Structures are given as structure tokens and as C-alpha cells.
Chain A
Amino acid sequence: MPVQYGEKRWANDFMNADDIWNSLSDFPAPDGLLSEGGMMGDAIRHHDWAATSLGPMATWPLSLKNALRMMLTSRQPMSLFWGRDLIMLYNDGYAPFLAERHGRALGQPFQTIWSDVWQELVPLVAETLSGRGTGGEDIRLMMLRDGVEVETFWTFSYTPVHDDHGRIAGLINITTETTSHVRSQAAAAAIIEDTQRQLEHTMQLERQRRIVQREMAHRIKNILSMTMAVVSQSMRHATSIEDAQETITHRIGALAKAQDILTDTEFRDANVRSIIEQVLKPHQDHSGRTRLDGRDVKVSAQQALGLSLAMHELATNAVKYGALSNENGTISVRWEEGADNTFRLEWQEAGGPPVVPPSRKGFGSRLTGRIVGGYFNGAGDIDYHPQGVRYVLTGTIERLADELNPS
């Protein structure tokens, strides 16, 4: 069966290289120069080389023809630059890289074709023509395509090519455009980075959620501990089960109200006026009976809780025995913040029945005295003056805002 040179043969019986050579021995020697080489082979054969510095094809050195034939039969994109002008020749695989330059590039000098990147390539060309192959991976070249400057990336190697006398006469460029590969790598890196950022953000939110959860659990336990302490203290000082039941109910109610203030202020600083207003609200049956006098003063959450409990004790006693136990009594509460965060609050009752000091000291007096005094690093003193109970709290204000911005 006659076989054309270059035709694909299926030969499973080739055992070694010799078999292959033997099977090829009946081919005629190729006719003249370059009967192969695809589209660019044709273009090169029909080009008017006489008009270039390479001269007519028939005069080309054997070394150029060999290099050209190697290039044209290769599937690897290649271009060949030969002679003093570095005249360009290239194969089918290389043609797409030239974009609109393809067609006018053949037979033109390197510097003319690649004028836009020549400056960047000069060092590599010089290095190669001096006998050392060069190249690079994913080298960035700004290149004009369809009249627009675009960013391109190339992996290539420049290899010197010698003439028949052993002198370097040009270079062969074996190359692959890696622009799309580099872009997809960059895109993948961006996606990974973005995903990592999102993951980091999610983890951050999760950490915050856990902190809030732990903080809430801590507060719940704290309030339960305080409730237990209030119950045990109320029991300890109660005169009867009924008395215990009543005071415990009231005090837990006061704790709950104080808790409302803390929730409203998000457990930060609370306003003294709102604390007192909330405690006295149920007792303000007609206007003027309770009078609050003081500017906006903020105290820490713990102090707010303590103050709320003390105000509640005083109000409860006023309803039972003091200024709120008749129709005419009045309560005046004044407070002020002095220099260096000092604080003074005064509760003055008037117009109630004559005051008789209690026969025994209960948890209530400890609350208004030792306990709220402790919250304010000061003292709470109650005076059972016959004309009206007078309570004075002095101490120092603590604020979250002060801790956050120490002056």
C-alpha cells in the first residue's frame, strides 16, 4: 500500500527504532525544500524572500533550512529570527499569538513586528545571541491587540541558532501564551482570599456570639446568687413567715426592676434619675408628693442595682410607716455629683406621722447602710428624725465610661 510521507501509520508491530526506520526506507527523499509545514509552510514557500535581507530561498544556508523545517513540523508554537535584521519566520502554532499582526509579520525584522515589547525583550535577545539561551515563565508583556493595549503572559525560551560556519545567526523562540492560565490562577487566588476573609468573618461572629453567651450565663448566675442572698437575708431577719414572704416578694420585685434599667442601658451606665423614678412611680398618686432634684448623673450597673434596692427599701418603709403612709407626706430626693466623681444623695421625708426608730435592725437597714454604701465606696446613713426620715448616701461614682477613657 503506497504511503505518503508524513501520513499517520498504525503499526503495532514496531518493536524498536530500527523497525520504524526500516518501514520508512521506501519513502522517496522529500522533494527540495519544505514540502511540509501546513499553512505557514505554504506562506513561507510563496514569500518573496529576494526582497529581504535573507535573499532568495535557494541561497539559504543549510542550517537555516534545518531549523525552519524543525519549526514547521513541530506542533509547539515557535518563531525563528534570522540574520542581522532578525527576520521573522513562524509556524502555524505561533500564528494566533500575532493576532492582527499575522499576515504582515512574515519576513519582517523582530524590532518592527514587536516594536511594542522590543525594549523589554532586548536584554533577552542580546543574551541569547551571545550564546546563552534565556527565557522566562509567565513573563508579563503589555501588547497591542486589536489596537488595544492588553496585559499578556508568556512562558518561553530563546535558543541561539548557528549558521553553517558555527556562528550564531539567529534565535528560535519556543513559546506558550499563559495569559488565560495566569488570569485563572489570579482569579482562583482572589476567590481563595475572599473565602478566607468570609470564613474569618464568620469565625469572628461565632467568637463574639460565644462571648455574649458566656457573659449572659455569667449575669444570670450572678442575679441568681443575688436573689439567693436577698432571700436568705430576708429570711434571716424576718419576724414571721408572712413577713418573710412579703419582703422577699418586694425585694425580688425591686431586683427585677433594677434589672430592667440595666437591660435598657445594655448593662452600661444608668441614670440616677431614672432609677429613682422607676422606684417611686407606683407611689406618685398625685403630683408634688415626691420631688426629684438633681442633674443627669450616670452610675455603673452595679451601683444602679444597689441604689435601686436602697430606694426601694426606703419607699417601702415610707409607705408602711413614713411620709407615704398618710395623705399629706412628701418625699424629696436630691443628688449631686461633686469634684472627683464624688456623689451625694439625700432622701428627706416630711409631713408623715411622727417617726419612731425601728426596734430591730433588719436586712433593709443593712441594704441602705452597709450594702449600698459599699457599692458607692462610701456610707449610707439613716436618721429616724421624729419629723421625717432622712437618709444620706455619700460616696464615689464608678462609670464604665470612666474605665474606658481614664483621664
Chain B
Amino acid sequence: MQPLKVLVVEDEIILLVDIVDLVEDSGFRALEAQNADAAMILLQQHTDIDVLITDIDMPGSMDGLELARRARGIYPDMAVVVISGKLHASKNDVPPRGRFIPKPYPRLAIMEVLKALATPSYH
């Protein structure tokens, strides 16, 4: 079985690089985008993305939540992980079956979510 393919979207490049490393270190394949518009293009080019990890506040035509909604519109089964510096994420902030990880993000939290997603019994 192919390792899960993860799309990481984060406008802060240091964080983007670090999360991508984390994803790859955990044995997954990673794609990266610095904003939601670039992420949409990748979502159209790659039909085999399993997980979307996205920041919320990003410059561009849409934020991470809108990106997550559109990604789910194309791929209803896509797993979504939202990372944000917001104090609290309300239910409206996180898409259904989505995960929320507050900033500063603990590496362990991301790894655990990825491992859980990789486990077949997750669904």
C-alpha cells in the first residue's frame, strides 16, 4: 500500500518546511503550498491526496477554512487537519470530521493525527 499523501498549506515558510519534514519523517508523502490558491491548483493536479493540513489565516483569495470546504467539495472523504493560532476554534471553524490543532503546534499532535489516519480502522 502506498503511504498517505499529505498536502501541507502554510504561509509561514519556516513552519511549512518544518511540517513537511515532520510529515516525511513520519513516513508519508508530502506536497506543499504557501497559500490556498496554490493549494487548489495542487488539489486539481493530484487526485490522490489523502490528507489536507492547513493553517487558517493566510493571505490570498480564501482562508484555510474555505480551502477545506472546497477540498471536501471535490474529495468528500479527504481528512482535514486545521492548524491555527486562534484561541478557540468553534464548531463552525472546523469542517465535519476535521481535526483542530492549536498553534504553537505540538509535533506530537500532528504525528498522532497522521498515524491515526494511516490506520485502516480509523474510518
A: residues with CB less than 8 A from B are 214, 217-218, 221-222, 224-230, 232-233, 236, 302, 306, 309, 366-367, 370-371, 374-375
Question: Closest Cβ of chain B: how far from A381's Cβ, in Å?
Answer: 16
Docked-complex contact B16 and A374, CB < 8 angstroms: yes
List the A side residues contacting B18 at CB < 8 Å: 228-229, 232-233
Of B13, B21, B34, which is within 8 A of A236 by CB?
A: B21
A225 and B34 alpha carbons, distance in the complex (Å): 16
Interface-located stretch among B46-54, B65-73, B103-111, B114-122: B103-111
Partner of B21, one of A230, A233, A375: A233
In angstroms, Cα B90 to Cα A85, docked, is 82
Judge whether B1 is part of the interface by a CB distance below 8 angstroms: no
A305 to chain B, nearest CB (A): 9
Closest to B107 in A: A232
- The reply to whether A225 and B17 form a contact with Cβ atoms under 8 Å apart is no
Which residue of chain A lies nearest to B20 when distances are taken between CB atoms in the complex?
A370
- Residues in B with CB closer than 8 Å to A367 are 14
Residues 85-119 of chain B, each 1 if its beta carbon lies under 8 Å from chain A, else 0: 11100000000000000011101000000000000
Known A-B contacts A221-B103, A222-B103; the reply to A302 vs B12 at CB < 8 A is yes
Chain A nearest CB, measured from B85 CB (Å): 4
Top-9 shortest CB links A-B: A221-B85, A229-B18, A374-B13, A224-B104, A225-B104, A221-B103, A229-B14, A225-B103, A218-B85
Summed over the interface, the residue pairs from A and B with CB atoms below 8 Å come to a total of 58
Residue in contact with B17 in the complex, picked from A217, A224, A371, CB distance below 8 Å: A371
B17 to chain A, nearest CB (A): 6
Let me know if A226 and B12 touch, CB within 8 A: yes
Closest residue of B by beta carbon distance from A225: B104
- In the bound complex, what is the Cα–Cα distance between A370 and B13 (angstroms)? 9
Give the Cβ gap from A68 to chain B, nearest Cβ, in Å: 79
Contact B15 A226 (CB under 8 A): yes
Q: Which residue of B lies closest to A219 (CB)?
A: B85
From A214, A225, A309, A375, give the contact of B15 (CB < 8 A). Answer: A225
User: How far, in whole Å, are A232 and B108 apart by their CA atoms in the complex?
Assistant: 12
Which residue of B14, B85, B107 contacts A371 across the interface (Cβ within 8 Å)? B14
Decide yes or no whether B57 CB sits under 8 A from chain A.
Answer: yes
Task: Kindly provide the distance from the CB of A187 to the nearest chain B CB, expressed in whole angstroms.
Answer: 45
CA distance A133 to B99 in the complex (A): 78
Residues from chain A with a CB closer than 8 A to the CB of B11 are 302
19 A-B pairs within 8 Å (CB atoms) are namely: A217-B87, A221-B85, A221-B103, A224-B103, A225-B15, A226-B15, A228-B18, A229-B15, A229-B18, A232-B22, A232-B107, A233-B21, A236-B21, A302-B12, A309-B14, A366-B17, A367-B14, A371-B13, A371-B14
Cβ–Cβ contact B13 & A218, under 8 A: no
Q: Are A229 and B103 in contact (CB under 8 A)?
A: no
B25's closest neighbor in chain A, by CB? A236
Known: A218-B85, A232-B22, A371-B14. 4 other contacts (CB 8 A): A218-B86, A222-B103, A228-B105, A370-B13
Bound Cα distance from A370 to B16, whole angstroms: 11
A385 CA / B104 CA spacing, docked (Å): 39
* Cβ contacts under 8 Å, A302 to chain B: 11-12
Task: Chain A residues near B15: list those with CB within 8 A.
Answer: 225-226, 229
User: Min CB distance, A359 to chain B, in Å?
Assistant: 20
A222 lies within 8 A of B85 (CB): yes
B28 to chain A, nearest CB (A): 16
A217 touches B13 (CB 8 A): no
Smallest CB separation, A236 vs chain B (Å): 7
Within 1-41 of B, Cβ neighbours of A (below 8 Å) are at 11-18, 21-22, 34
CA distance A367 to B17 in the complex (A): 10
- Best-buried of B11, B14, B15, B57 by chain A (most CB within 10 Å): B14
CB distance from B61 to the nearest CB of A (A): 13
User: Can you name the residue of chain A whose Cβ is closest to the Cβ of B11?
Assistant: A302
State A370–B18 Cα separation when bound (angstroms).
12
B14 cross-chain contacts in A, Cβ below 8 A = 226, 229-230, 233, 306, 309, 367, 371
By a CB distance below 8 angstroms, the chain A residues around B103 are 221-222, 224-225
Q: Which residues of B contact A229 (CB under 8 A)?
A: 14-15, 17-18
Residues of B within 8 A of A306 (CB): 13-14
Contacts of B107 in A (CB 8 A): 228, 232
